[in-house]
Amino acid sequence: MDFITKLPKSSQGFDTIWKSFQKALGTDICMSTAYHLETDGQSERTIQTLEDMLRACMIDFGKGWVKHLPLAECLYNNSYHASIKAAPYEALYGQKCRSSMCWAEVGESQLTGPKLIQETMEKIILIKQRMQAAQDRQKNYADRKRKPMEFEIGDRVMLKVSPWKGVVRFGKRGKLNPRYDIPFKVLAKVGKVAYKLELPQELSRVHHTFNVSNLKKYYFDEPLVMPLEGVHINDTLQFVEEPVEIMEREIKRLKRSQIPLVK
């Protein structure tokens, strides 16, 4: 749909036609920001669990672990999940899997009918409620370590240079390099947790929208800035400090001598 232009924008800065298109398909589009790709967190967490299972298979079965993939799949689908308080197989088919490890009583087989449809709808609602409760618990745990960060248009913020290990951004590398780059001006707020920054010309290839986790408030105290007109630098790029006022006096006593200290 690149040929469609000049359409009204949504609150996040995207064309409103995308919302209508996704609504017609019955899907929901999740837009992420640069360097903060966390819209697929549920999939990433599932992949971590599957990797642990396959790693255990590799240790036990060696090179023949590929032959045991169906068993690993069956084990995962019939394992109890705390979020939905049931196994994925039971949530999908409405009954427990009958295997040599999990025997369940066999009832009357019923493939269609209003009773089966009603039971299925009730289970879907129950599973959704359980998943929402699990997500609320996870959000509560995560929010304990977070603090709300909001910036106004025109504020200056520091931008994190490299949030991940091994990622080189803005041409900077190394442990001892500054973690945050020079302050940038906030141009607009995109969504709830992202901001558009004014980047210089040398960073024109970098996306201008960043999540608040990569930003830091820049505090600028104008009275503490030393005017350059009052500093006289010689040819060796050095300057001589001239005392203006004595603020505090102290004498440091040693074993056999005294050292006067003046602030």
> 198 and 139 in one domain?
no
> 134 and 185 in one domain?
no
Q: Please tell me what DSSP assigns to residue 172.
A: B
Count of alpha carbons within 13 Å of 157, Cβ hemisphere only? 30
> 132 and 39 in one domain?
yes
Closest by alpha carbon to 34, among 193, 184, 216, 202?
A: 193
> 48 and 105 in one domain?
yes
Can you give the pLDDT of all 263 residues of the chain as single tens digits?
445 556 666 655 566 677 777 788 887 776 665 555 566 677 777 888 888 888 877 777 777 778 878 878 888 888 888 888 888 888 888 777 766 544 445 555 555 567 777 777 887 788 788 878 888 888 888 778 777 788 889 888 888 775 444 444 555 555 566 677 778 899 999 888 889 988 888 777 778 888 888 888 888 765 555 555 555 655 555 656 666 778 888 888 888 888 888 87
> 32 and 139 in one domain?
yes
**pLDDT for position 187:** 92
- Rounded CA-CA distance 130/126 in Å is 6
Cα 131–Cα 137–Cα 139 angle in degrees, nearest 5: 100
Alpha carbon 178 to chain centroid, angstroms: 21
The pTM (predicted TM-score) of the whole model is 0.44
> 92 and 182 in one domain?
no
Quick one: which H or E segment has residue 40? none
**pLDDT for position 148:** 77
**pLDDT for position 104:** 47
Residue 169 lies in a domain: yes
Closest by alpha carbon to 208, among 193, 181, 186?
A: 186
Tell me which residue range forms the domain holding 160: 156-222
Residue 150 lies in a domain: no
Structural domain count of the chain:
4
> 19 and 34 in one domain?
no
> 74 and 10 in one domain?
no
* Residue where a domain stops, chosen among 190, 206, 222: 222
